Amino acid sequence: MAELHAAFNELVERRDGRPAEAGEETRQGGGSGRTPAARVLESVGDAVVLVDDDGRISLWNPAAEAITGLRETDVLGRPIGDVIHGWSQIEELVPVARSPSEPVRAVTTPVEVGGRELWISGSGVALEGGTVYAFRDLTEDRALEKMRADFVATVSHELRTPLAAIYGSAQTIRRPDLELDERLRDELLDVIATESDRLAAIVNDLLLSSHLDSGRLHMSIQSCDAGALAAAVAESARTHLPDAMSLELEAAPRLPPVVADPSQLRQVLTNLVDNAVKYSPGGGKVSIWVENGDGAVRFSVADDGLGIPAAELRRVFEKFYRLDPGMTRGIGGTGLGLYICQELVRRMDGRIWVDSTLGKGSTFVVELPAAA
């Protein structure tokens, strides 16, 4: 901000009609004709906008172009209210100093520019005949902050549900005034075991995601039996499959070995099967296919469930993203499963994608290199 203040001071001098200081042209270097203020405003990372007393834009530096996507030639001379939607309300919020040396605290506010919402942090300095505003783009920071808040709320809910079931079951078993028959005691113990597994799965996803982000995950890439891996995942999934669901596995004959980390590939396929079951609340069939591709082995996991809206397809692999964030359909989850799949597949030199039709189910496809 010190550079900006110096530039503001020079702008003040030039708007007041005062000449440049002696030796200024020498400081420019190379006889470029550009003043130090002009060079600062061209290179500084903050967007700088000069608005005259008539509310028209008379300066729009390269950072302002980069942040807003609007070129200087398209905005100079235009009323700022035509460029930034709702400027009259924003102008009341942004603090304006009476001189470049007066400290003011930048205010963060949303603005609409070219149909996009941006979150900017800015302040201004009053000049004779206008106001210079400096702001920086905090849109990504704001999105990250919201993502973190949503994640905390989601994980808190996901942890609270199994903990409540475990605590309630344990307290019931411990009650000295209650006679429990063997059947009810077994049912309560089953609840404790099942919900403990659910807690462990949540914690494992959190730890695995952390290891992926930090680069601390060790991968043991080797030649694996693709059909046997898929069969093991299918067999495990069938042990806790809901009554309304069925699972089928079809593996092509003479499959080549797949080059992968067997443990992490099982994690990927398990996540995809669990996802297929979770997003088929009305029941249905989950199908696993293992096929021989062109120098690759292809695993497909398909369901007849809810499907994914076309506009959301590009987001399903994002960290913490959930198709049903409000859990209006009773579908929980941390939003880490598909993110983990994508990161693991990428680290095994493979690729993953999804084909889906809303209301007709989804097919997730993983393609990994075949052994030579």
226 & 362 share domain: yes
User: Could you say which of 187, 214, 241 is where a domain stops?
Assistant: 214
Q: Which pLDDT score, from 0 to 100, does residue 10 have?
A: 55
21 & 131 share domain: yes
> What is the CATH classification number for the domain harbouring 254?
3.30.565.10
Q: Which of 279, 297, 311 is nearest to 372 (CA)?
A: 297
302 & 359 share domain: yes
pTM for the structure as a whole = 0.62
- In the numeric block, the tokens 């095994």 are attached to 348
State the total domains in the chain: 3
Q: Is residue 348 within 8 Å of 264, Cβ to Cβ? A: yes
- Backbone φ and ψ for 272, nearest 5 degrees, come out as -70, -40
201 & 260 share domain: no
Question: What token pair was written down for 277?
Answer: 């079951």
172 & 249 share domain: no
Domain enclosing residue 332, as ranges: 222-369
Q: Which pLDDT score, from 0 to 100, does residue 7 have?
A: 57
82 & 101 share domain: yes
> What is the CATH classification number for the domain harbouring 80?
3.30.450.20
243 & 328 share domain: yes
Q: Which pLDDT score, from 0 to 100, does residue 29 have?
A: 42
User: Could you say which of 161, 180, 214 is where a domain stops?
Assistant: 214
183 & 49 share domain: no
157 & 186 share domain: yes
187 & 69 share domain: no
Q: Which pLDDT score, from 0 to 100, does residue 5 have?
A: 52
Residue 198 DSSP SS3: helix
44 & 89 share domain: yes
> What is the CATH classification number for the domain harbouring 167?
1.10.287.130
Q: Is residue 116 within 8 Å of 69, Cβ to Cβ? A: yes
Q: Which pLDDT score, from 0 to 100, does residue 41 have?
A: 67
Q: What angle do CA 324, 328, 331 make, to 5 degrees?
A: 55
235 & 176 share domain: no
Q: Which pLDDT score, from 0 to 100, does residue 34 have?
A: 57
User: Could you say which of 193, 214, 235 is where a domain stops?
Assistant: 214
Q: Is residue 308 within 8 Å of 362, Cβ to Cβ? A: yes
Residues linked to residue 305 through DSSP beta bridges, in sequence order: none
What are the residue ranges in the chain where pLDDT is below 70?
Answer: 1-38, 40-41, 324-332
